[in-house]
Structure 1
Amino acid sequence: MVQQRMGRIQWGDLQFGPGSRYHVTAVTGLDDMPDIRAEDINRPDQHGDYTSPDTTGARIIQLGLGLRGDTPDDLRALTLALRAATQPQRQPAPLRFLDQDTLLYGKVRQRALPYDAENLWSTGTAALELYCADPYLYSLEEHTASTSEYSPAAGRTYPLVYVGAGRTYGDAGTSGRLTAVNSGASPAYPVLRIDGPVANPSIEQVTTGGSITLDATLQPGEYLIIDTRTRAILLMGTSPRRTWLRAGSQWPLLQPGSNVIAYRGSALPGAPGQSSLLTVTWRDTSL
């Protein structure tokens, strides 16, 4: 259950908050709005401005910690563990607010571990600053929904349930449609997986618009990963196939609330009784 108190925070192998030796004393930037980037310009000879759509910059998270050891040596071990876990990073890493149902991706940009000779015995303090280039707040749970393609000539269904890539995929939808619910307050960027066999697959965001069509053929056993955030299209999850995207396609997003996704494609000759599957994966998303 989501709660108002900050609760537990997970960074790498370290956990801060209740049940740990690292007490959370302060958090800033989590519920704050990141800085707005705007391109407003003055209206010549008129009051007011012409305003552009607002977008946000990076999110900055600051954590205040209280270290609680049993002895000075114990405190030193806590300090060294925190120092080791907050080294400069090549890529952002998950920062999980476990009791807030919130996930971010950040890099540690500042770390303060002061030494107070007058008071230092078994307690100390620390301050961390994390830079989140992606300002979105994601749910901890990753949602999935799947459906077979709508192919009038084949009229097939796909009742398969399988496990792959560490996720469990549920029952397929009907008539080439599925419903994806984004319980956040901002649009979510889904990851789309198409499993063959299928020719010229098409994915449409029925609720609000946006669709993509691929001039491609996937044989049985082949699959395609489409990341709507990075706009990568990867055959078998690794080989770029962006050139398969048909001109005029618009990348579908999951708006807050319920979203109906339609999946269409053509059956392949020589693959009777087999069906293609679309799996949509997303997290609830807010700013």
Structure 2
Amino acid sequence: MAELNKDFQIEVGGLLMGPGTPYVIADVPGFGTPDLRSQDVDSPAGDGVFPGVDYYGMRAVRIEAAIRTPGDPAAAADALAALHRMAATAAVRKKAGALTSLRVKWPGRPARRFYGRVRRAEAITTAQLIHGWVPLDLGFDALDSTVHDDVEQSLVLPLDISQDAFGFKAPVIAPITTGVSNPATRPGWMTNRGDLPAFPKLRISGPVANPRVWIAETGKALQLALTLGPGEYVEIDTRLGARWVVKNGFGSAQTALSTSSRLDQFQIPPGRSELRWTATDYTNTTRLAITWRDAYTAL
């Protein structure tokens, strides 16, 4: 993954374009409001339409660019071949659910990214290839309408001995403690600096039994009825295009989720929030790791 260190640079599918590269970018339409999937319903007994829910669809991003290698047609041909190889990546093209990234460095802000697929990578004409000039037409469908931060955030937590229930259990024996006295010093604080909820990816490492993870501010929880031995782990991916639970990297553990556990609702809200979890582990070696990217409405 190349570093985007100049304004107006774009990396699509791992191919860097813009300032400092042979690819000159003229315009990039499609960064506005995503396409809408309207749920409007015609009135069955009168004029008009009943407005339903409007869902965002994909962003159809088009990159109007050109290859410019003055006096070097061989370099232009190499750049065109690199573009075609990027668009033909079989690991993305032939795998259902696989996505690639479109990374953008806009003026006055850090790099951000979209997830989707390259749908078009074509030379408009090669008439000027002999002079090192090839105009290009690229299409990228951002299937996830959210704009993501380029830097991935992460947090690793030991087992949380606190509970989400209130009150005391009898008999009460002095001294009475209620965990960490200053909530700000607890280790589970997360910060989503964007203006949209972020979908995280979680990994729970054994030995552990019956883990339950929740976000205090939203109350949304994921609970698993399973046991992991030493060296075993379970991964939970809530991101669009994934939303699966996998044990040890290959076996589905989706059925271990409780009926109230919704992957599509387990989100890190904008701002500061606290992640907490409980489980059974007598060795104090189990760990919960969570990763996410801050989520934005726009670049």
**Same structural fold, with TM-score higher than 0.5 when normalized by the shorter chain:** yes
Stretch moving more, 53-62 or 86-95 = 86-95
Candidates 239, 244, 258, aligned match of 2:251: 239
Residues 116 and 140, structure 2, Cα contact 8 Å, conserved in 1? yes
1:240 partner amino acid: S
**Could you say which residue in structure 2 is the equivalent of 1:81?**
82
Change (3 A) 1:66 1:263: same
> What is the distance in 2 between the residues matched to 1:243 and 1:84?
39
Match for 1:27: what amino acid?
A: V
Whole-angstrom CA distance in 1 between matches of 2:258 and 2:74: 63
Which deviates further from its counterpart, 91-100 or 234-243?
91-100
- State the Cα distance separating 1:280 from its structure 2 match: 1.2
Deviation at 1:119, TM superposition (A): 9.3
Give the 3 Å change call, closer, same or farther, for CA 98–213 of structure 1 in structure 2: same
Query: Map of 1:31-70 to 2, 5 A cutoff?
Result: 32-41=32-41, 50-70=50-70
Cα RMSD of the aligned pairs, angstroms, is 3.0
Q: Normalising to structure 2: TM-score of the pair?
A: 0.76
Cα deviation for residue 51 of structure 1 reads 3.7
Partner Cα distance (2:83, 2:138) in 1: 10
1:141 aligns with 2:142: no
Q: Percent identity?
A: 28
Q: CA deviation at 1:201?
A: 0.9
Q: Distance in 2 between matches of 1:81 and 1:275?
A: 47
Task: Specify every segment of 5 or more residues in structure 1 that has no aligned partner in the other structure, as ranges.
Answer: 158-172
Hey, what does 2:123 align to over in structure 1? Answer: 113
Q: Distance in 2 between matches of 1:45 and 1:85?
A: 53
Residue ranges of structure 2 left out of the alignment (5+ in a row): 164-176
Are the structure 2 counterparts of residues 83 and 231 from structure 1 closer, same or farther at C-alpha, using a change threshold of 3 Å?
Answer: closer
What is the aligned length?
261
Q: Which residue of 2 aligns with 1:132?
A: 142
Higher helix proportion (structure 1 or 2): 2
Amino acid in structure 1 at the alignment position of 2:68: R
After superposition, the Cα gap between the structure-2 partners of 1:77 and 1:48, relative to the gap in structure 1 and judged at 3 Å, is same
Q: Deviations over 1:164-196 (max 9, x none)?
A: xxxxxxxxx976x61221222222111111122
Give 1:207 deviation, angstroms: 0.5
* 1:216 to partner: Cα distance: 1.6
The corresponding residue for 1:277 is 287
Task: Kindly provide the CA deviation profile for residues 5-25 of structure 1, in whole angstroms up to 9, marking residues without a partner as x.
Answer: 852112345311111111111
Aligned mates of 1:280, 1:29 — CA distance in 2: 31
Q: Deviations over 1:200-258 (max 9, x none)?
A: 11111110221121112222322111112333111122211112112222342112222
In structure 2, how many angstroms separate the alpha carbons of the residues matched to 1:119 and 1:73? 9
Could you tell me whether the CA contact under 8 Å between 1:10 and 1:96 is conserved in 2? yes
